[in-house]
Amino acid sequence: MNPKLWAVIPAAGSGRRFSQTELKQYQIIQGQTVLQHTVARLNCLPLSGYVLASSENDSIIHTLKFAQSEKAHFCEGGAERVNSVLNALQYLSQFASLDDLVLVHDAARPCVTQDCLNQLVNAAIQEKSSAILAIPVRDTLKRVEEQNTISQTVSRHDLWQAQTPQIAKLGVLKAAIEQALLSGINITDEASALEYTGETVKVVQGRSDNIKITYADDLELAKLILSSQK
């Protein structure tokens, strides 16, 4: 019998690289917010529920249609993404099994495909391992010093660009993040915490169109991708 599957969506970030005044997850694409597209993609999976970690000042999230679903749960976000994820995991652990699987997915990554989601979940179940979506680095990488001068060309051999979702057992991920935070480790994604604690993390090759909306021009690209995926 497969474990239950939950999703965590950290949605409390300020997104200052996108805009000083507008939150990227509430930009409109095809009549829906970016966050609505993201939740809809995750709902292609047989989720038992999903937890959104949002800012206490967020006046929009509870007005969106998905917020009325029985699957929707909410908790307060934290100062950083990792704190929001941990808050959601602590909330989830009140009623979910520590052996349940949890997908953590960026609120502003609305273009992930159902095939990629299925492959990721299947890999975690079949391999009995944590796993992430990622793509091989394609471009030549440069190490740049002060005044924007190149100091070194970095080999891209064996380098992959991590994406989300990232999946792990609830208990394993919660403990890994707690331990990494106590040790002062810089946690840039869930896998970095799992790596620190020695957890094996499998890589499932994703797609380059699974973009995260970070800058304003990413929104236009996301619009094109979502249109092409219809």
Dist. CA 89–CA 222, nearest whole Å: 28
Residue 212, domain CATH: 3.90.550.10
Amino acid 17: pLDDT: 53
The verdict on residue 143 lying in a domain is no
Residue 173 within any structural domain of the chain = yes
Residue 139 located in a structural domain: no
Q: Is residue 220 domain-resident?
A: yes
Number of domains in the chain: 1
The structure tokens listed for 195 are 């790596």
Residue 219 lies in a domain: yes
Please provide the DSSP assignment of 140-196 as one string: PEEEE-GGG-EEEEEP-TT-EEEEEEEEEEHHHHHHHHHHHHHTT---SSHHHHHHH
Position 33 in a domain? yes
203 pLDDT more than 80: yes
Residue 87 belongs to what domain range?
A: 5-134+161-228
49 in a structural domain: yes
Residue-wise pLDDT for 70-103, tens only, equals 999 999 999 999 999 999 999 999 999 999 999 9
pTM: 0.94
